[in-house]
Amino acid sequence: MSSLVQVAGVWWNVPEGYRPQQARPCKSCGQVILMAQTPKDKWAPLNPDGTSHFSNCPQAAQFRRPKPSPAPEATASRDSD
Ligand SMILES: [Zn+2]
Tens-digit pLDDT profile for residues 21-79: 999 999 889 999 999 999 999 999 999 999 999 999 987 765 556 566 665 655 655 66
Expressed in angstroms and rounded, the spacing between residue 79 Cα and the centre of ligand 1 is 23
Distance between Cα 75 and ligand 1 center (Å) = 22
| pLDDT value, residue 22 | 95
Our CA angle for 39, 43, 47, nearest 5°, is 100
| 34-39 own/partner pairs: CB under 8 Å, 24+ apart | 34/7, 34/10
